[in-house]
Amino acid sequence: MLKGKTALVTGSTSGIGLAIAKALAQQGANIVLNGFGDAETPKAQIEALGVRAEYHGADMSQPGQIEDMMKFAASRFGRVDILVNNAGIQHVAKVEDFPPERWDAIIAINLTSAFHTTRLAIPAMREANWGRIINVASAHGLVASAQKSAYVAAKHGIVGFTKSVALETATTGITSNAICPGWVLTQLVQKQIDDRAAREGISATQAQNELLGEKQPSLQFTTVEQLGGLAVFLCSPAADQVRGVAWQMDGGWTAQ
């Protein structure tokens, strides 16, 4: 379905971003990977699916490096057809204890980076009259939790940004949508489980059950593969008129 298209997925060396990159590659899209850590293994995994893969290590908190990544993608593949803004970090603390530099980093990586990639991707999408912008927000883009002020602000912000871009591109073949996962068992959440287990002196399994029990009525994690499937749907012709949505995949979290 996506043969000949190019998808750039930020933060795709692990977790949700890597799974979305794989799901799009399975549909034939070439992939530009980004993120920290080992990039060789994800690149080989994508290439094994029979498409081309490139990697750029831009730090999403640095606008200059983001510009460099977007130029790199254009030089390798002509343009970015599918932009997935996924890179994200978390920090858990009360507002009065929240380190200002962590606030700045969360807003830069989880929100502002999407402004930069989007503004740089849209001109070529407009020329082609086709494009897909998928922002990985969160249930925290729709409702709040205590001790996550920066994350909640960034995720609410990206849901609003998604809608503005959807309106600006409404008469074109470009769509802009957000995905709002609940708990997904990636390293970002594993850290919160481990911190909770240590803080409360309980096992990791108990901490995991408490985490799910508090927020996610299904008591099951959303899987990265399910999120990959949702991204593929948003890239399909069936989703041509899906514009500006914030699509929950959260086991009922935000239905409460």
Least spacing, CB of residue 26 vs ligand NAD, in Å:
18
Other CB atoms within 10 Å distance of the CB of residue 221: 19
- String marking each residue 123-142 x if it binds ligand NAD according to CB under 6 A: -------------x-x----
Judged by CB under 6 A, which of 186, 223, 226, 254 binds ligand NAD?
186
The SS3 assignment for 23 reads: helix
Q: Name which of 107 and 128 has its Cβ closer to ligand NAD.
A: 107
Question: Quick check: 177 binds ligand NAD (CB under 6 A)?
Answer: no
Question: Quick check: 60 binds ligand NAD (CB under 6 A)?
Answer: yes
Residue closest to 24 by CA, chosen among 181, 232, 176, 227: 232
Size of the site for ligand NAD (CB under 6 A): 29
Question: Quick check: 159 binds ligand NAD (CB under 6 A)?
Answer: no
User: Which residues are bridge partners to 8 per DSSP?
Assistant: 32, 83
- String marking each residue 214-233 x if it binds ligand NAD according to CB under 6 A: --------------------
Q: Are the beta carbons of 243 and 176 closer than 8 angstroms?
A: yes
Other CB atoms within 10 Å distance of the CB of residue 210: 15
Residue closest to 161 by CA, chosen among 127, 126, 113: 113
Question: Quick check: 77 binds ligand NAD (CB under 6 A)?
Answer: no
The SS3 assignment for 207 reads: helix
Question: Quick check: 46 binds ligand NAD (CB under 6 A)?
Answer: no
Q: Over the Cα atoms of the chain, what is R_g?
A: 18
Size (the chain), residues: 256
55 annotated active-site: no
The catalytic position among 77, 103, 151, 161 is 151
Q: Which residues are catalytic?
A: 151
Site of interaction with ligand NAD (CB under 6 A):
11-17, 34-37, 59-61, 86-89, 109-110, 136, 138, 181, 183-184, 186-189
